[in-house]
Structures are given as C-alpha cells and as structure tokens.
Amino acid sequence: MKKVLLFVKDSQSAIETSRKIHERLRLMGVHTEVYINSRKRKQKKILKDKDLLLVIGGDGTFLAGARLVAKYQIPILGINEGRFGFLTEVEKEYAFEVLEMVLKGQIRYQKRVMISAYLKRDKTLRFLGDYLNDVVVSKSNLARMLELDVYAMGEFMMRVYGDGVIVSTPTGSTAYALSAGGPILYPLSENLLFVPICPHTLSNRPVILPSHFEIKVVNFSLDGMAYLTMDGQEGMALKKHDQIIIKRSKHFCLMYPNPKRSFFEILKEKLKWG
C-alpha cells in the first residue's frame, strides 16, 4: 500500500492519535493525508488513488467513512477512539501492530453487506445513498403511533402500528435493531433484518430475509409524524404516502477485522456476556 487517508474524529484524543500514526507511517515511507471528520468542514476530493481508509474514532466515524468510500471500494481499518468499538475494532494500543500487518498484506479484509435506500414521493424516485448499518422509519416529536405498510419483494408482509420499523444489515444488527429486540446476525452473513419498533400488535416480530429481497415501507401517517434516518446520521421528515425502498447495495464495505479478537470475543466484551 502506498497511499493512506486518515479519517479522524473531531476530538482532541483522536487527533493526537492520528498525529502519532501519521508520523509512524511517514517513517515507513507511506504517503498519508489527514482529514478531520467535522460537520462544519466541507468534504473535498480526498479519495483519489487511496489504498486504505484508516478511521480513527468511534463507530459513528466509521459509518461516515464507509459511506464515503463505498462506491470507490477502498478498504477500511478502524482504530477505536469512541465508546463502543463494534466497528472500530482495533484498540489504539495495538494500532501500529495491526496497521503494519495490513500494510504487509498479512490480513485479508471482510466484505460486509451494505443497503441502498430510495425515497419515492409522488412519482419521483430519489436515491438516498448506501449505508452500512440501517435505515429506520420512526416517530418524530409527536408521541403518536405510526401507521406503516411493509412489503417484501412486492408482497404485502404486515401493517405496523407502533413507533416505527428498522431495516438492518448483519453489521447493523448489533446497533438500533438489537435495542429494539432484534436478533444478532453474524456480520459476514448475507441477509437483511426487519425489526418493528414497539409494535402495538405484539405478534409483529423481527424477520430475517434473504439479502436479494427488496423491502418497501409505505407511510400512512400524517405529514411530519414520521422521520427517516439512515445510519443514525442522515435523515428527513416524511410525508403521507411516501415510500421508502431498501435493497442490497451493489457495493460492499471492505473492512479489515482485528486479528486479535473474534466477533464473539467482541460480543462478550461489549455486551458483558459471561
């Protein structure tokens, strides 16, 4: 690898870690650039000819990086400077060791399923983006039930009266979907997960679907009652009769795992399993 982009959380600790890694890579003869992931800063053309995106931050920074490089298929390594570290798997004390293994080709990246989201409003279909975790339709500020119809591959699946619905990737199954009562999917599996949020009809249960299925959510709630959120970072208010279409993206997130910890070890650590 010749060119590495450091994609850094806008925090003092993460920026300090990035300086140390930047200097180490410079001494190794690797060309590096540093980009601070700040909402106030406009993105520029930073991905040209990059061989690796090194995310230094938390899972939120990783999700932002994954969206940034999805269509360019640049692999990602995450160094944890956040709270949870489900995606930024490498703790910073092991950063140099694991990074050197990646640069030497001693670790193979994983291919994680991503989902594409579309908004159909009236007769206009709009592509919203590719996402690694989930697409969520949930309540806005008003504490009233939403009314949503859900279709899978064009077939009516259920009507949900409740707080909303989640469509998640296997990677995203340990995020909001888990809190809403969904199962944990192994991150390398190729499925989509549908989870109702606090459904009034208690028989509405989570459903695991094949990854090639297209899921459509039709909003029958009044304008402004429902809100669409993607990866917990992008979103918009929905109007009555809006349709949200979710399907497997043609792109994968190419993610280097931590060779020192398996997925089950991460679960035991993060979820406090005995």
pLDDT band at 47 (very low <50, low <70, confident <90, very high): confident
Element (H, E) at 139: strand 134-139
What mean pLDDT comes out for the span 10-39? 92
Q: Is the pLDDT of residue 52 over 70?
A: yes
107 near 101, Cβ under 8 Å?
yes
Q: Under a CB-based contact definition with an 8 Å cutoff, are residues 116 and 247 in contact?
A: yes
- Active-site residue, 59 included: yes
Catalytic hit among 10, 59, 163, 242 = 59
Is pLDDT above 90 for 144?
A: no
Q: With a cut of 90, say whether residue 208 has pLDDT above it.
A: yes
Asked if pLDDT for residue 116 goes beyond 80, the answer is yes
What percentage of the chain exceeds 90 in pLDDT? Answer: 86
Q: Quick one: pLDDT at residue 43?
A: 57
DSSP-derived letter for residue 62 is: H
The pLDDT-based confidence of 41 (bands split at 50, 70, 90) is low
pLDDT at 42 over 60: no
Nearest to 199 by CA among 235, 228, 158: 158
Per-residue pLDDT at 44 exceeds 60: no
pLDDT for the residue numbered 45: 64
Assign domain 114-250 to its CATH architecture.
Sandwich (2.60)
Mean pLDDT, residues 266-271 taken together: 90
**pLDDT at residue 182 in the model:** 97
- When the candidates are 3.40.50.10330, 3.30.1330.60, 3.40.50.720, 3.40.50.2300, the CATH number that belongs to 3-109+256-270 is 3.40.50.10330
Res 141: pLDDT: 77
Residue with tokens 């990646």: 102
Q: What is the pTM of this model?
A: 0.94
pLDDT-wise least confident of 37-46, 153-162, 214-223, 226-235: 37-46
Residue 169 has pLDDT above 90, yes or no: yes
pLDDT at 148: 98
Candidates 78, 135, 85, 86; CA nearest to 249 is 135
Which pLDDT does position 16 carry in this prediction?
Answer: 96
- Show contacts of 228-231: CB within 8 Å, 24+ apart: 228/119, 228/135, 228/136, 228/137, 229/135, 229/136, 229/138, 230/117, 230/128, 230/129, 230/131, 230/134, 230/135, 230/136, 231/63, 231/67, 231/131, 231/132, 231/133, 231/134
Per-domain residue ranges for the chain?
A: 3-109+256-270, 114-250
Nearest Cα residue to 230 out of 158, 175, 150, 159: 175
Task: Report pLDDT for 40.
Answer: 61
| 227 vs 82 pLDDT, higher one | 227
